[in-house]
Structure 1
């Protein structure tokens, strides 16, 4: 099919690839450091770390897909594209839809699994489990809808109109998933606040944590911006030319989300003395905050140490209660105390 030649503005694609490359590079550095800390230095890896790695690998896949899209004409006016190029771009868009849902599910699950590290109540732990179940169900539903959006599926990228069949209202689907994703972001953001108030950590550590969750609120704001970009994209007269805008906001959203998910795990870097002590300690039981100790002489003449733990009475006054010490580092990262009731 012949195409007309018009002036092509590559500004949007240049901005998209620049933003995506820089942010993905930062994400790669952060998650790599996180993996080194958790898997090698501290040997405290968990499901949250594996999910963060899945999220990063998928973001890298997203970036590679965007570069492939650029070589096939993504961001160019429809008039400059052949039917073959249009079909290829629509297939790339289809792949991006699946990649995006994998990323947001992996990153959000990583955050929720991280919450479980400092779960000090059965209720909070159950809420975390329920949230991950909702994320899994939401992910499965999204993938099923994307894969089954057209019957037959090739109708989703057919530009010749020679394939007969039907497709769902993809605009309504994208609105729903974006809006529901924002609600999940808000829920995940407020979920740990009551528990954080009762964690026995220093004021400085508490402020840092609230700062991290504040950045998480910024990620939610970018999710809203992405929703608006989806709205403008659905109204665009040339979706091939205007597709970079949605991808810019998608890349910003997923990368900031993985930064927030990784920030608490990087806390050992800001407590180097205790971090070095943790590498010398072979015990797997450790605490994440400093507790003063007292010495007690036993009947056989030996001495033992007990931690002084502040206890709160009904009138919020403080008393001291001893607890036998357990070896390990303190103030390294968020972690449920070994003998906490869950």
Structure 2
């Protein structure tokens, strides 16, 4: 069991380090748009690494071996290391949830959704603080965990039952967070395949929830265990699997952008996640469309060189992944990338028809139409 713990810890900690490095590089270098959610996930990753590494240090103090073989002088460092792992687990889970919720605020499409997210943030923070407090106050005094003299008059809670309640509430919060963005993503003006793809990407967070459920079920072996130093190894394994998987999945949009920038053929597209506009695409008529820029262009009254008057319009056009005319085969991926990388709201496609008329021609002649993102 000791070997299994070391291997799992090393693998998942390595995945977390690489995931965070790619996320920060993508946000700062490629997208040049780092946000609060990135800082929060970094804090969560630091505590997740500590939570994953401390059980390895506890191996030399009896973890993974029969409790009867644990020497008295090993009890104090053993308990302190497990206490550290438990506290850092709760802190890491708190910051991971806050990072996801902070990201959802950037996707917010209205006050109702924002209010819901803020309400969940308050609940998550309260639960996180309560979890840490419960671990640190599981015994009064806390030294009763490793000091037999202090344990004589100490008052302690049943920690395993607390872990059950804690895990159940945490899983409920995970499910709420998992379902929060689905309504926004499903309501986007895009093909069904794109919406399903986006929901599936966000739904990957369910893998961390599954790990949490397995961790919860593994705790029952501790309820009546006479060999806790052995039986606690499996819950410890699933605890850091849960944290590190959640961190990796939270960085999936950044990883996708990173791969599109440096390994576009791997994802079957040459689209650049920096948002570079594609120039000269061909529309239905076979003519080249005019390139667009990211800057908004208000349409107003215009005159051509023959002084023919154009009708005043009030639309605002902005470029980005959308192009004039039909998109090429990469368009589905473009829309997904815009949604995942834009930090000022979800992009939606709207068709705007701009009509014009000349004095010498019949009224109502249509001269251009374009798809726009806003």
TM range (shorter): 0.7 to 0.9
In structure 2, C-alpha distance between the alignment counterparts of 1:102 and 1:131, rounded to whole Å = 17
- Whether the aligned pair in 2 keeps the contact of 1:233 and 1:246 (CA below 8 Å) is no
**More displaced, 57-66 or 241-250?**
57-66
Corresponding residue to 1:81 among 70, 81, 85: 70
- Whether the aligned pair in 1 keeps the contact of 2:22 and 2:258 (CA below 8 Å) is no
Name the TM-score, length of structure 1 as normaliser. Answer: 0.79
In structure 2, C-alpha distance between the alignment counterparts of 1:138 and 1:86, rounded to whole Å = 30
Distance 1:338 1:189, change over 3 A: closer
Question: Counterpart of 1:275?
Answer: 272
Question: Counterpart of 1:37?
Answer: 26
Alignment: residue pair count? 302
Distance 1:339 1:150, change over 3 A: closer
**More displaced, 27-36 or 203-212?**
203-212
Question: Counterpart of 2:308?
Answer: none
SS at match of 1:275: coil
Give how far 1:61 is off: 1.3
Question: Counterpart of 1:146?
Answer: 135
- Whether the aligned pair in 1 keeps the contact of 2:31 and 2:274 (CA below 8 Å) is no
Greater RCO structure (CA 8 Å; 6+ sep): 1
Unmatched tracts of structure 1, length 5 or more: 1-11, 281-289, 303-320
SS at match of 2:232: helix
Question: Counterpart of 2:84?
Answer: 95
Distance 1:198 1:67, change over 3 A: same
Unmatched tracts of structure 2, length 5 or more: 262-269, 278-292, 306-312, 322-333, 348-374
Corresponding residue to 2:125 among 136, 152, 157: 136
Question: Counterpart of 1:119?
Answer: 108
Q: How does 1:153-168 map to 2 (within 5 A)?
A: 153-159=142-148, 163-168=152-157
Distance 1:325 1:61, change over 3 A: same
- Whether the aligned pair in 1 keeps the contact of 2:299 and 2:316 (CA below 8 Å) is no
Question: Counterpart of 2:3?
Answer: 14
Name the TM-score, length of structure 2 as normaliser. Answer: 0.73
Corresponding residue to 2:318 among 316, 326, 335: 326
CA shift digits 1:259-311 (9 cap, x unpaired): 2211123332354344365479xxxxxxxxx99x9997842449xxxxxxxxx
- Whether the aligned pair in 2 keeps the contact of 1:116 and 1:125 (CA below 8 Å) is yes
Mapped pair 1:68 → 2:49: no
- Whether the aligned pair in 2 keeps the contact of 1:86 and 1:159 (CA below 8 Å) is no
In structure 2, C-alpha distance between the alignment counterparts of 1:232 and 1:294, rounded to whole Å = 65
Distance 1:209 1:20, change over 3 A: farther
Q: Please tell me the root mean square deviation across aligned C-alpha atoms, in Å.
A: 3.1
Question: Counterpart of 2:186?
Answer: 197
In structure 2, C-alpha distance between the alignment counterparts of 1:38 and 1:187, rounded to whole Å = 26
In structure 1, C-alpha distance between the alignment counterparts of 2:86 and 2:65, rounded to whole Å = 20
Moved over 4 A (4+): 159-163, 201-205, 293-298, 327-330, 336-340
